[in-house]
Amino acid sequence: MPGRRLALAAAIAACCAATALAVTGYPPGPAAQASDPPAVTTPAPVLPATSVTPPQLAGLPSASAFARPGPVASAAPSTAPSTAPSTATPTTAPAADRTPAGSSAPPSGAAQACGGLPRFNPATADEIMAGQLTIAPFAPLTIDPNQDGDVDWTMNPFGNPTWGQDFRSGSWIEDLVAAYLAGGPEAGAYQARAKLLAAGWLQALPPSGRDPQTLVCIAQAFPGQSWINDQIPPTVNYYAAHWMGAWNHGLMQDIKLLRIGCGYPPSAFGGDALRWRQTAVAQLTDAFEPNPLGPAIDSQGAVNEQATLYENFVYTLWQTALPELAACGYHLPGWVTARIAQLPGFLGSATEPDGDLVQIGDSYVERPATSAHGSALVSVYPQAGYVFGRSGWTPAASFYSLRFGPGREIHGHNDHMGLTYYAQGRDLIVDAGHDGYAATPYRTWLQSPEAASTLVLPGAAFNPDAATALVADRVGRYGQFYELSDTAFGGDPRYRSVYVSQRPDLMVVFDRASGGSDTSAYQQLWHLAAALTVTEVGASYAVASAPGAELTLARVALPGQVIPPGSTQVAVGQTDPYQGWVSGQMLQRTPADTVTMTSTGPSAAILTLLVPTAPATPVSSAVSGSPAGPWTLHVTVGATVSSYTITADGTIS
The shares of helix, strand and coil residues in the chain, as percent rounded to the nearest 5, are 30, 25, 50
The CB-side HSE value for 485 (13 A sphere, CA atoms) comes to: 12
For 394-407, how does the pLDDT look when each residue is reduced to its tens digit (9 = 90+)? 999 999 999 999 99
Cα 483 off chain centre by = 27
Within 8 A by CB and 6+ apart from 649, the residues are: none
Task: Give residue 122's pLDDT.
Answer: 96
Task: Give residue 343's pLDDT.
Answer: 96
Give residue 336's pLDDT band: very low, low, confident or very high (50, 70, 90).
very high
CA 127, CA 555: separation in Å to the nearest integer? Answer: 58
The yes-or-no verdict on residue 7 having pLDDT over 70 is no
Pair 363, 12: CB distance under 8 Å: no
Q: State which amino acid sits at residue 393.
A: W
- Burial tier of 411 (Cβ tally within 10 Å: 0-12, 13-18, 19+): buried
CA 450, CA 202: separation in Å to the nearest integer? Answer: 44
Task: Give residue 45's pLDDT.
Answer: 25
C-beta atoms surrounding 643 within 10 Å = 10
The yes-or-no verdict on residue 546 having pLDDT over 80 is yes
| β-strand partners of 405 | 468
CA 607, CA 556: separation in Å to the nearest integer? Answer: 5
Pair 520, 600: CB distance under 8 Å: yes
CA 146, CA 254: separation in Å to the nearest integer? Answer: 37
Within 8 A by CB and 6+ apart from 605, the residues are: 510, 511, 512, 558, 561, 599, 648
Stretch among 101-115, 322-336, 396-410 having the lowest mean pLDDT: 101-115
Task: Give residue 324's pLDDT.
Answer: 97
- What domains does the chain contain, in order, with CATH numbers? 7-292 (no CATH), 387-616 (2.70.98.70)
Share of the chain above pLDDT 70, in %: 83
CA 561, CA 629: separation in Å to the nearest integer? Answer: 12
Q: Taking Cα atoms as reference points, which of 411, 486, 491 lies closest to residue 455?
A: 486
Coil, strand or helix at 440: coil
Residues belonging to the chain: 653
Task: Give residue 371's pLDDT.
Answer: 79
Pair 348, 374: CB distance under 8 Å: yes
Give residue 642's pLDDT band: very low, low, confident or very high (50, 70, 90).
very high
- Burial tier of 349 (Cβ tally within 10 Å: 0-12, 13-18, 19+): buried
Give residue 39's pLDDT band: very low, low, confident or very high (50, 70, 90).
very low
| β-strand partners of 133 | 141
CA distances from 604 to 234, 240, 347, 415, 637 (A): 61, 53, 36, 20, 27
Mean pLDDT, the chain, whole residue set = 86
For 240-295, how does the pLDDT look when each residue is reduced to its tens digit (9 = 90+)? 999 999 999 999 999 999 999 999 999 999 999 999 999 999 999 999 999 999 89
Share of the chain above pLDDT 90, in %: 81
Task: Give residue 99's pLDDT.
Answer: 29
The yes-or-no verdict on residue 323 having pLDDT over 90 is yes
The yes-or-no verdict on residue 172 having pLDDT over 70 is yes
C-alpha angle 262-265-271 in degrees, rounded to nearest 5: 95
The yes-or-no verdict on residue 64 having pLDDT over 70 is no
Task: Give residue 111's pLDDT.
Answer: 86
For 131-163, how does the pLDDT look when each residue is reduced to its tens digit (9 = 90+)? 999 999 999 999 999 999 999 999 999 999 999
Task: Give residue 109's pLDDT.
Answer: 79
Task: Give residue 373's pLDDT.
Answer: 76
What pTM was computed for the model? 0.85
CA distances from 5 to 13, 134, 188 (A): 12, 8, 25
C-beta atoms surrounding 83 within 10 Å = 9
Q: For 163-175, what is the mean pLDDT?
A: 96
User: Is cis: bond before 212, omega within 30 of 0?
Assistant: no
Within 8 A by CB and 6+ apart from 340, the residues are: 297, 301, 318, 322
CA 588, CA 438: separation in Å to the nearest integer? Answer: 12
CA 385, CA 392: separation in Å to the nearest integer? Answer: 22
Dump the DSSP string for 99-156.
PPTTSS--HHHHHHHH-BPPPP-HHHHHHHHTTEE--TTSPPEES-TTSSS---TT--
Task: Give residue 35's pLDDT.
Answer: 32
CA distances from 130 to 142, 149, 157, 502 (A): 8, 11, 19, 59
The yes-or-no verdict on residue 32 having pLDDT over 60 is no
Pair 486, 513: CB distance under 8 Å: no
CA 168, CA 117: separation in Å to the nearest integer? Answer: 18
The yes-or-no verdict on residue 81 having pLDDT over 90 is no
* Interstrand relation of 549-556 and 603-613 (parallel, antiparallel or unpaired): antiparallel
| β-strand partners of 399 | 390, 422
| Phi and psi, residue 64, nearest 5° | -60, -25
Pair 89, 192: CB distance under 8 Å: yes
- Burial tier of 297 (Cβ tally within 10 Å: 0-12, 13-18, 19+): buried
For 574-613, how does the pLDDT look when each residue is reduced to its tens digit (9 = 90+)? 999 999 999 999 999 999 999 999 999 999 999 999 999 9
Q: For 386-393, what is the mean pLDDT?
A: 97
The yes-or-no verdict on residue 48 having pLDDT over 80 is no
More confident residue, 370 or 42: 370
Task: Give residue 376's pLDDT.
Answer: 92
The yes-or-no verdict on residue 17 having pLDDT over 60 is no
Task: Give residue 439's pLDDT.
Answer: 94
More confident residue, 79 or 313: 313
The yes-or-no verdict on residue 530 having pLDDT over 90 is yes
Task: Give residue 68's pLDDT.
Answer: 54
Dihedral sign, Cα of residue 184, residue 188, residue 194, residue 198: positive
More confident residue, 52 or 153: 153
Pair 381, 297: CB distance under 8 Å: no
